[in-house]
Amino acid sequence: MSEDFPALSPEVRALLDRERTSPPLSPAVRARALAAARAAMAAGGGAAAPRAPAAWTRWAVAAGLTGVAAVAAATVAYRHQHASAPALPAAPAGTALATEPGPPPAPAPLAVPSLPQAASPAAPLPRLADDGPRRGKVTREELRLLSQARAAVAREDFAGALSPLAEHAREFPNGRLTEEREALHVKALVGLGRGDEARRAATSFAARFPRSVLLPAVRGMSARSE
Amino acid sequence: MSHLRLLSSPTPQLTRDEECLDAFQKELDYVYRSLRRLGTPPSEVDDLAQEVFLALRHNWATYDRERPLRPYLFGICFRMSAASQRKRRREVSYAVMEVDEPGPGPDETLLAKQLRAHVLNALEQLPLKRRAVLVMHDIDDVAVRDIAAALSIPLFTVYSRLRKGRRELEAALRRIPAPASRTTPATSGGHA
């Protein structure tokens, strides 16, 4: 078969042969994957429900939602900038901006249900609303925090992931990467063996992002913690 | 007693879901390996493997049991990886910040792990479509016609992708610095 192609050099052939015999998964990873599969099966109802097309469309839906969220955030920022100068009668109930004396009412569509996050005292309003022109910087900062958390989770330093996640929750309660933050939070809690908190966080995630592409994974993780 | 034996003796009849889970379980190592070879970052492999399972489960009723399962699974892995890669590109390049997998496990020496990372890094340089064909053919030993069926592409395209992919892989392996102690007989051929 391979006579039709440029033959691989012996060195490359040897490397590929070595790759062919890569080590098996650790029992922990295997158990985790199978538990998640069983949980997905149990959650999926009848056999072979129309899930797979959803697997494709979920990505598209997520992309759409991201776009909608971005537009919503931009609209809020725009409204904020143009509405805050004239006298506004009263400060909003609940949370308050740290920097401005008379902030506008909090935008209702972006209200967040309280999350079982690690320390989140007196969370400020979304920072996005403050700095429309600096949104790129804000997004980079969001990314920086979440990347730290992802890296910590990837090296299984779950406790180390909580700190950037909490900081992100404080700084960007309604940031563009909130969905990813909450999913990572569940993952970190599961990794730490804090099953009850993980399940509460997963429930909160499902309520807040019922159509999230990450929802099956979050449910799977939470099921693993049982 | 014989009555009890009769009750317990029939071979358990697996439901379709159980049968699917059983097949997935047997090929779990293969699914994880394939996702990594297709460029899925370590931190996303778990999630993507679950997506693969869901897709397999959905299609299990129509899957032809006469066909080999691995190329079929690889086709699913390929499509999932492509979708995930598109998503990552749209959002931000997490891959840049992705950390490597944790240290070597008990079954894998440091050098073996480094060599594996070397191959994965080189594969990463190939466009996904050519990488998929090369991995199937040159690592998984899948026949060309099965590759064509699994990836839904014509035979000619398989040949052409394999030809280009091999050239690109050789070039990438020459370009990327290899692990320091490349002194094993298998790899002492002079590739830097």
Pairwise pLDDT comparison (B165 vs A131), residue with the higher score: B165
What percentage of residues in chain B have a pLDDT greater than 70? 76
Give the pLDDT score at B1: 45
Within 8 A by CB and 6+ apart from A38, the residues are A223, B21
Which of B60, B102, B163 shows the shortest C-beta gap to A48?
B60
User: Which regions of B83-144 does DSSP assign to beta strands (E)?
Assistant: none
Question: What's the predicted TM-score (pTM) here?
Answer: 0.50
Confidence of residue B70 (pLDDT cuts 50, 70, 90): very high
Range A74-85 average pLDDT: 55
Per-residue pLDDT tens digits for B3-22: 444 444 455 567 888 889 99
pLDDT over threshold 50, residue B99: no
Q: Do B46 and A33 touch (CB under 8 A)?
A: yes
Instruction: Please tell me if residue A51 touches chain B, with a CB cutoff of 8 Å.
Output: yes
Q: Do A11 and B190 touch (CB under 8 A)?
A: yes
Give the pLDDT score at B165: 94
Instruction: Please tell me if residue A108 touches chain B, with a CB cutoff of 8 Å.
Output: no
Query: Which of B69-78, B85-94, B123-132 shows the lowest per-residue confidence on average (mean pLDDT)?
Result: B85-94
pLDDT over threshold 50, residue A156: yes
How does the average pLDDT of chain B come out, rounded? 79
Give the pLDDT score at A193: 86
pLDDT over threshold 60, residue A94: no
Give the pLDDT score at A75: 62
Q: Do A16 and B138 touch (CB under 8 A)?
A: yes
Q: Do B61 and A41 touch (CB under 8 A)?
A: no
User: C-alpha B64: how far from its chain's center?
Assistant: 21
Pairwise pLDDT comparison (A131 vs B151), residue with the higher score: B151
Q: Which helix (H) or strand (E) holds A38?
A: helix A27-43
pLDDT over threshold 70, residue A44: no
Range A69-73 average pLDDT: 64
Per-state percent for chain A, helix, strand, coil, to nearest 5: 65, 0, 35
pLDDT over threshold 80, residue B117: yes
User: Which regions of B84-160 does DSSP assign to beta strands (E)?
Assistant: none
Which is nearest to A104 in space by CA: A123, A122, A78? A78
Max CA separation in chain B (angstroms):
71
| Residues 129-168 in A contacting B (C-alpha not used; CB under 8 Å) | 139, 143, 147, 150-151, 153-156
Amino acid at A99: T
Residues of B in contact with A51 (CB under 8 A): 54-55, 57-58
Which of B58, B91, B166 shows the shortest C-beta gap to A6?
B166
* Separation in Å, CA of B64 to nearest CA in chain A: 15
Instruction: Please tell me if residue A40 touches chain B, with a CB cutoff of 8 Å.
Output: yes
Best residue in A41, A186, A214 for a mutation probing chain B (most B CBs within 10 Å) = A41
Pairwise pLDDT comparison (A18 vs B160), residue with the higher score: B160
A-B CB pairs within 8 A amount to 166
Pairwise pLDDT comparison (B144 vs A125), residue with the higher score: B144
User: How open is the CA angle A102-A108-A113, to the nearest 5 degrees?
Assistant: 110
Per-residue pLDDT tens digits for A164-222: 999 989 888 888 788 888 888 988 898 888 888 888 998 888 888 887 778 888 888 87
Instruction: Please tell me if residue A70 touches chain B, with a CB cutoff of 8 Å.
Output: no
pLDDT over threshold 90, residue A139: no
Q: Looking at chain B, which residue has its C-alpha nearest residue A152? A: B99
Query: Which of A133-137, B113-117, B147-151 shows the lowest per-residue confidence on average (mean pLDDT)?
Result: A133-137
pLDDT over threshold 80, residue A3: no
Give the pLDDT score at A115: 37
From the CB of residue B96, how many other CB atoms can be counted at a distance below 10 Å?
7
Which of B43, B50, B87 shows the shortest C-beta gap to A37?
B50
Asked whether this complex has an ipTM greater than 0.90, the answer is: no
What percentage of residues in chain A have a pLDDT greater than 90? 2
pLDDT over threshold 70, residue A55: no
Give the pLDDT score at B87: 80
Range A34-39 average pLDDT: 87
Residues counted in chain B: 192
Do residues B49 and B32 make contact, with C-beta atoms less than 8 angstroms apart?
yes
Query: Which of A40-49, A80-89, B52-61 shows the lowest per-residue confidence on average (mean pLDDT)?
Result: A80-89
Q: Which two tokens stand for residue B191?
A: 């590739």
Range B119-135 average pLDDT: 93
Per-residue pLDDT tens digits for B157-173: 999 999 999 999 999 99
How does the average pLDDT of chain A come out, rounded? 68
Q: Do B119 and A14 touch (CB under 8 A)?
A: no
Q: Looking at chain B, which residue has its C-alpha nearest residue A25? A: B29
| Residues 129-168 in B contacting A (C-alpha not used; CB under 8 Å) | 138-140, 143-144, 159, 162-163, 166-167
Which of A12, A48, A155 shows the shortest C-beta gap to B173?
A12
* Separation in Å, CA of A48 to nearest CA in chain B: 4
pLDDT over threshold 60, residue A51: no
Give the pLDDT score at A136: 65
From the CB of residue A5, how many other CB atoms can be counted at a distance below 10 Å?
17
Range B135-156 average pLDDT: 92
